[in-house]
Amino acid sequence: MSTAQTAFLKGHGTENDFVILPDHDGLMELSPAAVARLCDRRAGIGADGVLRVVRSAAHPEARAMADEAEWFMDYRNSDGSIAEMCGNGVRVFARYLQRAGLVQEGDVAVATRAGVRRVHIAKAGPDGTPGAVTVAMGRAALPGGDVTVAVGPRSWPARNVNMGNPHAVLFVDDLADAGNLYDAPEVAPAAAYPDGTNVEFVADRGPRHVAMRVHERGSGETRSCGTGACAVMVATARRDGLDPAVVGHPVTYTVDVPGGRLVIGELPDGTVEMTGPAVIVAEGRFDTAWLTAS
């Protein structure tokens, strides 16, 4: 007796890893429990999140964007919750589209819950190494207000930055100050983040060069967070007095994450661009019945 199979791929961007589910016609029912099962690192495939690949015209949340972007990134955190955006995820999503022959090197538009994101896939290197992927992440919003992040008895002031999803960015002398980050740091006031937030701990490494650790809302500590790196760049530039709209030229920072390195730039019009690697490491199939079993 044959068993129904579901195709998947596995990819990562600076070790922020994802299960990719091609569902071009939007026929898959994907419950929070099913996402958590896929992302389980012991009993499942293992990932920080799931990228479901759907034609924008086939998804009710993306139909209004179908004229601008053919493909919609339906992103879920590893606990099954829905997220507005994932910067590393967008790069990996674009790499999948390229691998599947759905797009070519060059400019690609991707629909997300935070709006359409413009992506550029660079040409492969002479040795065939896939080119880096650059994502126009949109403009950062800076809601303002006093925010505090606490780990145990210690606390720090933080900057509220929104990159289509919420972030609390704080500066520390040593990234070890963040503790184990298994549990979400305490963020106050709660009203600043009614739907929870990602929290980035940042330490200086040199001129326009920082390193970060992140607790991602719904996933815990991850090896990288693309929107988090963008939020860190914006917060650091403001701390350093380098608002591109004021200085009149683009400002770029290197942001080291545990899983690698990202280059984040902000243009005078406020657009934030992120450049980094995107790698597909495996593809295969799993038993469809396993995903929905109680």
- Average pLDDT for residues 25-36, to the nearest whole number? 95
Residue 129 banded pLDDT, cuts 50, 70, 90: confident
- For 31, half-sphere exposure in the C-beta direction (CA atoms, 13 angstrom radius) is 7
Q: Which amino acid is at 182?
A: Y
Long-range contacts of 140-146 (CB under 8 A, 24+ apart): 140/230, 140/231, 140/234, 140/266, 140/270, 140/272, 142/234, 142/238, 143/192, 145/192
3-state secondary structure of 238: helix
pLDDT 10s digits, 176-232: 999 999 889 999 999 999 999 999 999 999 999 999 999 999 889 999 999 999 999
Strand runs (DSSP E) across 103-208, as ranges? 106-112, 115-121, 133-139, 147-151, 154-162, 166-171, 186-188, 198-206
Q: Residue 253's closest CA among 269, 272, 278, 279?
A: 272
Do the domains 5-132+278-292 and 147-276 sit in the same CATH topology, yes or no?
A: yes
Residue 292 has pLDDT above 90, yes or no: no
pLDDT 10s digits, 230-243: 999 999 999 999 99
- Average pLDDT for residues 108-126, to the nearest whole number? 95
Alpha carbon 214 to its chain's center = 11
| pLDDT, position 2 | 56
3-state secondary structure of 96: helix
| pLDDT, position 3 | 82
Binding-site residue positions for substrate: 16, 77, 87-88, 165, 198, 216-217, 226-227
- Average pLDDT for residues 45-54, to the nearest whole number? 97
Domain ranges of the chain: 5-132+278-292, 147-276
Enumerate the active-site residues: 86, 225
Between CA 276 and CA 136 the distance in angstroms is 12
- Average pLDDT for residues 101-115, to the nearest whole number? 96
pLDDT 10s digits, 247-287: 999 999 999 999 999 999 999 999 999 999 999 999 999 99
- Average pLDDT for residues 102-110, to the nearest whole number? 97
Residue 99 has pLDDT above 80, yes or no: yes
- Average pLDDT for residues 5-24, to the nearest whole number? 97
Between CA 69 and CA 7 the distance in angstroms is 23
Q: Residue 70's closest CA among 116, 8, 17?
A: 116
Looking at domain 147-276, its CATH superfamily turns out to be Diaminopimelate Epimerase; Chain A, domain 1 (3.10.310.10)
Residue 1 has pLDDT above 50, yes or no: no
For residues 69 and 56, is the Cβ–Cβ distance under 8 A?
yes
- The topology under which CATH files domain 5-132+278-292 is Diaminopimelate Epimerase; Chain A, domain 1 (3.10.310)
For residues 36 and 114, is the Cβ–Cβ distance under 8 A?
no
Between CA 104 and CA 73 the distance in angstroms is 17
Dihedrals phi, psi of 166, to nearest 5 degrees: -90, 145
